Structure formats: C-alpha cells, structure tokens
A and B are shown apart, each in its own frame.
Chain A
Amino acid sequence: MAILIDENTRVLVQGITGREGRTRTRLMKEYGTKVVAGVTPGKGGQEVEGIPVYDTVFEAWEKEGPIDASAIFVPAPLVKEAALEAIEAGIKLLLLVPDRVPIHDVLEIHAYAREKGAKFIGPNTLGILSPGKAVMGMIGGRAKSAREWFKPGPVGVSSRSGGITSAISYYISQAGLGQSTIVHVGGDAVVGLPHPEIMKLFEKDPQTEVIVMFGEIGTSQEERVAELIKKGELTKPLVAFIGGKAAQKGTRFSHAGAIVEGNRGSWESKVTALKEAGAIVVDKITDIPEAVKKVLGK
C-alpha cells in the first residue's frame, strides 16, 4: 500500500510539451509511473516520450479511458483553467506543480474540487512519490537518483518544503529504513491537501507505521495536526521538525506560506501545540532518522 499514488495510477500530464512537462514526463515514465496521455491545447496529435498528446482533457479521457490523476505543468497564470478542466473532466487527483499561482485562483479550484469530490496537491509542489511504485511531479529529478535516494518502507513523509522532502527521505533511507509515500504538500499559504489531510491518509494506510512531518512557520497546518492527535484521529507516532525559528514576523522567507502574521503560525505556537499533543519534535532535521528508529524499536 501507499497513499495517493501507486503503480496502477493512470496519470495525465497537462502542459506536456513545455520545458518542464517534457523533462518530468521522462522522469515519471522511467521511474514506472503509468503516464497514459498528455494535454497541450493546440498540439494534439504529437507525441512526447512516446506518450500521445491531446488538445483537451476531455479528449484524452475519451481516447485513453479513465484517468486517475493529472500532473499540471502549465505556467502559473494558466493553472486555474487547467485544474478546473481536469476536475470537470472527472479526474479526482491533481498535482499543481507551478509556483506563483494567485491565492484567489487556489480558492476557486478548492471550491470546485470540493463540489466534485476531487483532491489536489500544491500549488508550488515538487510532487509525490511512492518508492518503487510511482512518482508524480519532479521529486528525485531523474529516475536513477529517485531509486537511490528513496526506498520502500514504513515511514510516511509529509513536508512543506520541496528540497527538505527529499532530504528527510534520503536521511531515512541512509539509516536503513524506507518510505511508504513522500508528499510535498506545497509551499503556499493555501494548499489542496495540507498536513492534516495527509496525516489522515497515512493513518489509514497499512504500510505506514510512523509519520515524519516537516512544518514551517505560517498557516495553521501544524496546529491542526496537533488537534488531530488530541482528538484521537491520528494515532500513529509522529516525528516533527519545524523550520523558521530565526525568522522575523511579517517577513517572508521564500515560501509564500512561511510568513508569520501576528501570533498566528509562529514557531513557538507550533512546537508547543505538537509537543503537548504528544508528538516528538526534534531540534535538527538530521536527528529525524534516530527518532524514527527509536519509535520503531530499531
């Protein structure tokens, strides 16, 4: 098992003929993801990495059959249209890779996804990867690295930073363990599936025995994870690290989501809430593998 994607997930790539779309399609295919079709309006009939390109998502569905998930690699101003099209066509899981998507566009996608029972990861995400099964997005960069860095195992990883998603997972593999699924929830203030939603999925996944979460200042995600633990909705052990201790209020440090407004979302508020709920909060990212091993009794 794993969460969100596995070797059977039928994946569409929107924006497949662009610079990123093309490169990442190769990575996904080489890693074993079932990429069934691509869409670029006006470029239907072409092929990218042996994958047929269609003009619309509806057409791709018509010709290739049901599609489970779509990875979106179009420029930020076009993300909203691409996402709404995928949802309307019936796709239930989207991955919005681009950075700089306007927050109001994200709200609109959210509202429509809710109406149609669809979910989305991102925006501003490196993607998701279930080791040995499939990858969506760009985690790992190339299949060879992704195979070296990530191994199948019992640790679920959820992170608000793309680079750290890979770093944590790599440290876990180096320690002789492996991951069930690796999720970069996205760096923005509003994302489709924030930490609490990912926690619920890991809770239900039989492969996942322990969860590692990389949190950051800003937003209410980590505080809400603490609430899940308190309510008994998250019972699996959680090892967490919160970045941004040194950050100043009101100043953004790279991720749009990592901005502290007033006292909401401060480093102290998150660490306190998680510790009180019983999560293990480590001081350094490099301490994560030891903490995980301890939890697993290894």
Chain B
Amino acid sequence: MAKLFEYQSKEILKKYGVKIPEGGIAKTADEAVSIAEKIGYPVVIKVQIWETGRKGKGGIAFCENKECVKEHAEKFLGKEWGQFTVDTVLVEKMLPVKQELFAGFIIDDATAQPVLIFSSIGGSGIEEIAREHPDKVAKMHIDYIRGLYAYQAREVARKAGIKGKILNKIGSTLAKLYKAMKEYDARSLETNPLAITEDGDVVALDAHIVIDDYGVYRHPDLGIEIAREFPRPATELEKIAWNVEKNDYRGTFYFIQMVTDVPKDGKHIAFHGAGGGGSMMSMDAVLNAGFKIANFTDTSGNPPASKVYRAAKIILSQPNVVGYFASGSGVASQEQFHSARGFVKAFLEDNIDIPAVLRLGGNYEEVAVEILHTYLKDLPVKVEGYGKDDSPDFCANRLKELVEENERKPHRVVPHKEFTPKGTEYKIETMTGAIYIDHEVCKNCEEKPCVNACQYDVIELKDGKPVLKIDPEEAKKGKCTECLACEIACKFHGKGALYIHLPIPGLREYREKIIKKQGA
C-alpha cells in the first residue's frame, strides 16, 4: 500500500478543512531554522519516515530556540532509520494541548464498510485502550452510500465520553476526515493524536494516510512513484521493474528485492512465481530446500511473453544468485508457452550461467516444456522444465541438485545490450516495442517459419517477404501480443533475420554499475 508521509497526509487534511499546526518541511538545518523563526517558538521537529512510534525512538524533538532547532535538524537529517535515510523533517508550532483524542478510519473486510474508531484518551495502543477503557472508545460502521454525517460522528464522540460544546467541532472534524479518506482512495487514515487545544480548537497533531494501490491512478497530485507495498523506499531495480508494469495492464508483474546486496553465500536464488497462491507455495518449497530468496517476483494474470522476458532480465540483474526458480500453481488456466518463450529470449540473450528449474504446469504445458528444452539445450548450464504433476518440493530439490552440480557458482551479471537497428530493416511497432525484420537476410530463407509461427495472424508473406498483415495501428494496440514466437522460429528455423526489441528503460545503465562493482 502506498504510504504517505505525515506532512503529505496533513496537506490533504488541510484541503478538507481539518486544522493542522502551522509549519513546514525542511531538507536542511537552515531551512528548519527559518521555518521555526517564522512561526515562532516553541516548535516541534519530526523526522519524516513511514513508521509510527517515532517519539519513543528519538525521532521527535521540542525546541524553544534556534540553536536547538539547528542541532536537532542536523542530527535528524541524513540519519539511517531502519531501512530509511531521513531526508525531510517537519517543523511545526507546538500547541498547548488540553486533551488528546484519537480518530482512525480503516476498511473492515468482514462488512465491506469503512469503520470509524474514536478514542477520547488518545490512541497509542488503541486495541489495548479499547479493552481497558471501553467507555472511552467508540466505533461505527459507515454506510458507504450515505457517508458519515457530523451528527453520527457526534454520537460516536459522545459514546466515547465527550461532552459539551466541543462535540460540534469534533463531529465536523470527523466528517471531514472521512471525506478525505473516501475521496483520496485511502485504505486507512489516522490522526494520533487529534487534540483539543487550550484555545478550544480541534487540531490533527499527527496524521497517517495509506492510499489504496489500485486507486493511486486517480491521484496524480500525490506523486506516488510506485503504487506497491514496500517496507522501505524502492530500490533502483524495483523502480525499473515498476516502469515495466506501470503502463502495461496485460497481466501483472511484481518485483521486490528481499536482499539488495546478495551475498556470495551460495544460498540465494532468483525467485520467479506465477500467481499469488502458487508463488507462496513455491516460495515455501525453495525455503524448505535450504535456499534463501534474493527477490520475490510474480508474473500472473495472463501476462504476454514480453512481460515475462522483461521480468527475467530484471531478475538476472542480481549478481551472486546461484539458481533460478520459476513456479506457479502448477495447474494454470493460462497458456504456458507464453512464459516459456519469455524465458527463452531472456536466457539466450544473457547466456545464463546459473541452472534454472521452471515449473510451467497448466494449459499447453507440454508445448511450454518442449520450447524450453529445445531452445535452451545449448546453454552452459542446465535449464529444466516441469509440469503440473511435478510438485514444487520435487522441483525445488531438483534445483538444489543442479546448483550443487554447478558448484554453487555465483551468477555474474552481463551487459544489457540495447538493440541498434541498421535503419534498413522492415519495422512493425507493437504495444511496448518493435519487430525488426531484415528483408535482405530473408531472401536466403526458404521456409519463412516466422509466418507459420504467428498464431495471431499478424504477419504474412508478400513478394516472398514477411510483412504486416493487419493495420499498423491495430498491431500497436495489442493485436500483436508480443508472443515472441516469430523471433524464436526465425532464430532457430530461419536465418536470424527477425528481432523483437523490447526496451527496459534504465536497465543498461543499472547493469553497468553492477558489473563495475562485481569486478573481474
């Protein structure tokens, strides 16, 4: 889920008319000081990270003067915090607090409704507070079509022990918070504390919003780089992977690095699942076989071969892994030869140097396995394909044997060569790349296997040359599914005149850096 920083969450609340303390964000100590000087003391300085409980871990400081602000801002900025490096602090006016409250909105999967949880005595450890002080905490399920009215919110606050005039301000604040949650596609929204100040205002002193990944596209203003759950900021390779996924709705591709710097311990493997449940089952199998996974990847929901190819290329950008394991549920509804061709193209291009076990069970698995075994048999290492009657455990143990045979040699990343056309090729643009055909070379080819390989009837022979059969716009819109069959047919059964260029922005540069680091 896409988490927002406190200051981003507060900007949203402000838009909806919820009061927040005066202040601003700073990236340097000088900026922090100038904000403090402007708003006046006392101020509070807070590190901006995706974790709660900052106070207990020393991530919040209270200051009465400029020296104190400078000292703490310098201490905070650049500090390693879990998997984070702090690059922003929030400087805010400190307000005199009369009473700390808590307001949280989450989505209850059991009722499929948002729920408001409100406490009149703050909310750190809200579950415990609710148990120990049931009269101070109240909950309400919200009818999604009607929304949350202020009068309903007042009733919730009353049940939690709030009395008097302040009920009005609390009620309207809660209704505004809910509106923000709904309109920003939030999975959850919390203000802890929400405070009643000495002046009688209701102010959100802290705020924490998590946006639903699938709703992020409706909020470009948030500038969320990757709409995926990450426990830390995304790595460079994860960003490259996300760029592949972002604009290609055909199937899904998920990539996360479990280890960003894979050690040469002979235990880490590259992991490539297919389908959520199948991936988890397969991950359990490799862990049981004594492996560790360098990354978790899932290509599922009927992705085209081009997406699987890109996924494999990204996965193979991790040095030191000793094996490659791909496995899904085993009984996939999708045609398995698409994935097989994606693997073939990637493994051949990289001349893969670690053994691989690819479990491609499901529809047309026999075709998929044959593709792997036919076209990858001349690699320096073994690549074995399996189907639905071979269990994940069997396959994981098979990989173990192959890795042993290969003496647990670590993978070495090779350069990602970008294809440079000569300029004289015949070109067909596809959804995410282009097919280049050198018709000069085609002259010497009698079989023209590319045309027969095209399952979707996209290319045909004209004057003895393979050319586009359909409207170029249609091909680009997806009629050519980038199944890679023509390229493999041409490479092995023709003259090698056809190449499908599938760019992966940033990968060449990334691999160059890795190669430099991995040395000779």
Contact = CB atoms under 8 A, between A and B. Distances in A.
Interface of A: 19-20, 75-77, 99-108, 110-112, 115, 126, 138-142, 145, 149, 159-164, 166-167, 169-170, 187, 189-190, 194, 214, 216, 219-221, 224, 243-248, 250-259, 284-286
28 contacts: A99-B252, A99-B301, A101-B214, A103-B107, A103-B214, A104-B182, A104-B212, A126-B333, A145-B333, A145-B363, A161-B278, A161-B329, A162-B329, A163-B278, A163-B330, A166-B332, A166-B362, A167-B278, A167-B361, A187-B276, A216-B276, A220-B109, A224-B110, A244-B280, A246-B287, A251-B229, A253-B276, A253-B283
Contacts of B332: 141, 163, 166
B256 A251 contact: yes
Interface of B: 1, 107, 109-110, 112-114, 143-145, 182, 185, 187, 212-215, 217-218, 228-231, 249, 252, 254, 256, 273-281, 283-284, 287, 296, 298, 300-302, 328-335, 361-363, 388, 391, 393, 478
Nearest to A262: B127
Nearest to B301: A99
A185 B128 CA distance: 33
Nearest to B273: A254
Contact of B298 (A110, A111, A245, A254): A254
Contact of A251 (B110, B113, B231): B231
Contacts of B275: 161-164, 254
B333 A189 contact: no
Nearest to A161: B277
B102 to A, nearest CB: 15
Contacts of A164: 275, 277-278, 281, 329
- Which 5 pairs show the lowest CB-CB distances between chains A and B? A161-B277, A163-B329, A254-B276, A163-B275, A141-B333
B278 A194 contact: no
A221 B109 contact: yes
B481 to A, nearest CB: 8
Contacts of A253: 276, 279-280, 283, 296, 298
B498 to A, nearest CB: 24
B145 A115 contact: yes
A103 B335 contact: no
Contacts of A251: 229-231, 256
Contacts of A111: 112-113, 143-145
Contacts of B110: 194, 220, 224
Given A142-B363, A161-B278, A190-B109, 6 more contacts: A102-B185, A111-B112, A161-B280, A162-B275, A163-B362, A170-B388
A138 B332 CA distance: 10
Main SS class of interface, B: mixed
Nearest to A174: B389
A80 to B, nearest CB: 11
A224 B108 CA distance: 13
A107 B277 contact: no
Contacts of A108: 144-145
A195 to B, nearest CB: 11
Among B144, B215, B254, B277, the most chain A Cβ lie within 10 Å of the Cβ of B277
B184 to A, nearest CB: 9
B109 A107 contact: no
A216 B284 CA distance: 13
Contact of A254 (B280, B284, B330): B280
A1 to B, nearest CB: 25
A102 B215 contact: yes
Contacts of B273: 254
B178 to A, nearest CB: 12
Nearest to A102: B215
Given A254-B254, A254-B280, A163 B231 contact: no
Nearest to B478: A19
A105 B301 CA distance: 21
Contacts of A221: 109
Contacts of B214: 76, 100-103, 256
B335 A163 contact: no
Nearest to B186: A104
A75 B478 CA distance: 14
Given A104-B212, A141-B333, A162 B277 contact: yes
Nearest to A145: B363
A194 B143 CA distance: 19
Contacts of B388: 167, 170
Nearest to B218: A102
Nearest to A18: B478
B300 A163 contact: yes
Contacts of A255: 276-277
B331 to A, nearest CB: 4
B348 to A, nearest CB: 27
A5 B349 CA distance: 47
B114 A107 contact: yes
Contact of B277 (A159, A170, A250): A159
A167 B215 contact: no
B256 A141 contact: no
Contacts of B287: 246
Q: Among the interface residues A187, A248, A285, which one has the most CB atoms of the partner chain B within 10 A? A: A285
Contacts of A75: 249
Contact of B107 (A107, A162, A247): A107
A289 B362 CA distance: 19
A194 B112 CA distance: 10
Contacts of B107: 103, 107, 189-190
